[in-house]
Chains A and B, each alone.
Chain A
Amino acid sequence: MKETDILSRYKDSGDLKLLGKLYAPYMHLVLGVCLKYLKNKQQAEDVVMQIFEKLIIDLRKYDVVNLKSWLYVTARNYCLMELRKTKGKENSSIENMEFSLAVHHDNEENENLEEQYLKECIETLKVAQKQCVELFYLKEKCYQDITKITSFELKKVKSYIQNGKRNLKICIESKRESI
């Protein structure tokens, strides 16, 4: 059964078993997120269950299309609320969630064009970013391999790739719009 089917069935019936089925595959991710924000194993485990209690109500109330990203935002907001409760007003500005929208290739022609953009844009990147992005995306090396090749720190490699990716995206989008 598909996730969306289970979701709509839960919405109709309110059967907790169905909700359990929905939540179980994400629990470890929610736990990880809770650990990241709360930095307390016991509290994180409690919050994982508290979030489930929240889901019981919210998932019947709202129309959730993408459960995964919705759950991610819910979990993170819950953790931030917990932090705000305990530590007073902390930096709790919640960033907008990033929906990873798949890039659609309309046709062959466009694909070629995109590739061209990509090549052009990669050239505009800084040397370190360019090196890492190329190794990662084009040569499909993992972070550790890249650290060995480039002798950058693991953290640096990560940020180079992340930033490089973002810059590429911006670059390509601007090129697309300019036509």
Chain B
Amino acid sequence: MKVYKYHNEHLSKEAIAKYLQNEFSSKEMYIVEKHLLSCSFCTEAVEGFQDFSEVNIIQVSNQLQQKLKQRTTKKAVYYRWWVVASITLLLTFFIFFLFDVMNENNEKTAFFNPENSEKKLLISNETITDTLIADKSVKNINESDIKKKIIRDSLPKEINLKKQRKSQIIKKEIVIKKEKDNLIALADKEILKKTDHLVMETKQSKRLKKLNIATDAVSPVLKEPINEKVFFQEKSRVENTFYPTAMNENQDNQKQLLVARKRSVSGTVYDENNQAVPGVNIIVKGTTIGTITDINGKYQLEIEEHSEELVFSFIGLKTKVVSLKNKDVINVNLVFDTVKLSEVAIITTENERNSKVLGYSVSKSEQKTTKATPIGGYEKYKKYIQSFMKYPQKAIENKVEGVVKMNLIISKKGEILNILILDSLGYGCEEESIRLIKEGVRWNPAKKNGKKVKDKVEMSVKF
């Protein structure tokens, strides 16, 4: 039985499968195991499969090999398709090019042939008259359409208006309903008038004309404003382009409308404690229209009818958005907006350069200072005092023992400027202490941020 597919290289998938399923004799198993000991690749692979006993090694490996085959042959297939595609593309381009050249030739010949061009003109004239006639008939047909359309238009408008601005429109609705019959009759007349105009017109603006008739018909009947912005814009545009003479009349109309579309809102702004807040910003959402509250927290604002929301904002208070629907007086309570600013401490432990770089006021948490010390250190100094001290005779006689406490002032140069006695013993002890200190070593001056400074050192001498 051949265990290795490639001898002494690695285990075949069959070998691994058989080994894991205990299908080998112990001799074969030994061979596999011996190989595994010297081949970490196979070892890890076997370990991997051991954890996945449900995986059919041979089957999965074959699937993968199939995939590999697809992958390695894919490119070639693509390449072939690519060639075919590019050839067809080239061919089509070539054909188009040929056609193009041929067409160009034809046109050139037509251009240089006067008879042909005359014919063309004749034909085009005919077509124009044809279209004109067709246009008329279309218009005739359109008239009836238009009538229907006006009725249809007015109805949805009612509904729309109802939806958007109930309170304002309810009254108007009644008027509209009453005059609906009137409207249709009037509209008919209008249309008859307008059709004369229309025939004169070019065929540019069938849609606009329709609209025009509609608006002309509707506006005198309604007389009262309609808050359909788009509607009016469209109307004015149409009129500006086609009926300059009618402009004045319409402008008046529009002015009326604009004035009527404004309304005013007022109210007072309070904070949580029902205190009036002056200086609160009030703005119509999505616009630049706004105001601020006066000293009593009161405000009044002219707004457009269709404005929907007011935004109240003030530093330290939460911004509030209030709907404008059907309200003329809006009183608002703003809640305190408490955001705690966390304290920021900048600490430099390094040198002066840092504080300059930072450019903030820096409170130094720790200044680098060293106290003044006797040259050679305190240990040596202590020994010096102990060995050179002469116990004052008087003190021995009076059995004085204790500590003389002093403050030494050490200059920048390390000299002892002054000695202050804090606790004294008397009987010559102080004098002896002063002598010891004065005759003792010089001092290393104290340093502050690298600079030599004057210092005060507390010192005690024990007797």
CA distance A165 to B37 in the complex (A): 9
A35 engages B55 (CB within 8 Å): yes
Question: How would you classify the secondary structure of chain B's contact residues: helix, strand, loop or mixed?
Answer: helix
Q: In the complex, identify which listed stretch (B70-78, B107-115, B412-420) lies at the interface while the others stay far away.
A: B70-78
Residue B13, interface by CB 8 Å: yes
B71 with A16: CB separation less than 8 A:
yes
Query: Distance (Å) between the CB of B25 and the closest chain A CB?
Result: 9
Query: Is A36 in contact with B51, judged by CB distance below 8 angstroms?
Result: yes
Interface residues of A in 39-58 (CB under 8 A from B): 39, 41, 44-45, 48-49, 52
The A/B interface has a contact count, at CB < 8 Å, of 117
- Chain A 55-68 against B: per-residue CB contact (8 Å), 1 yes, 0 no? 00000000000001
Query: B residues within 8 A CB of A140?
Result: 27, 30
Q: Are A33's CB and B44's CB within 8 A?
A: yes
Closest beta carbon of chain A to B175's beta carbon, Å: 72
Query: Contact: A31 with B64, CB < 8 Å?
Result: yes
CB–CB A49/B72 < 8 A:
no
Chain B residues lying within 8 Å of A69, measured Cβ to Cβ, are 41
The answer to whether A175 has its CB under 8 Å from any CB of chain B is no
Complex Cα gap A143–B39 (Å) = 16
> Does A71 have its Cβ within 8 Å of any Cβ on chain B?
yes
Q: Are B30 and A32 in contact (CB under 8 A)?
A: no
The answer to whether B69 touches A32, judged by C-beta atoms less than 8 angstroms apart, is no
The number of chain A residues touching the other chain, given as a range, is 35 or more
Query: Any chain A CB within 8 A of the CB of B368?
Result: no
For A82-112 the 0/1 string (1 means CB < 8 A from B) is 0000000000000001101000000000000
A27 touches B61 (CB 8 A): yes
Q: Beyond A28-B16, A69-B41, A141-B30, is A34–B71 a contact (Cβ under 8 Å)?
A: no
Bound Cα distance from A67 to B394, whole angstroms: 101
The answer to whether B68 and A100 have CB atoms under 8 Å apart is no
Contacting residues, chain A, for B41 (C-beta < 8 A):
29, 33, 68-69, 71-72
A-B contact list, 15 entries, CB within 8 Å: A20-B68, A20-B72, A26-B10, A28-B45, A28-B57, A32-B49, A32-B57, A35-B48, A36-B45, A36-B51, A48-B64, A52-B68, A142-B26, A143-B33, A165-B37
Residues of B within 8 A of A (CB): 5-6, 9-13, 16, 22, 26-27, 29-30, 32-34, 37-42, 44-49, 51-52, 55, 57, 60-61, 63-65, 67-69, 71-73, 75
Q: Using A16-B73, A20-B72 as known contacts, list a sample of 20 further A-B pairs with CB atoms less than 8 Å apart, ordered by residue number in A.
A: A16-B71, A16-B72, A16-B75, A20-B68, A20-B69, A20-B71, A27-B65, A27-B68, A28-B61, A31-B61, A34-B48, A36-B44, A36-B51, A45-B64, A97-B40, A136-B30, A140-B30, A142-B30, A142-B33, A143-B29
The 7 closest A-B pairs by CB, nearest first: A32-B45, A36-B48, A35-B48, A142-B29, A72-B41, A20-B72, A32-B48
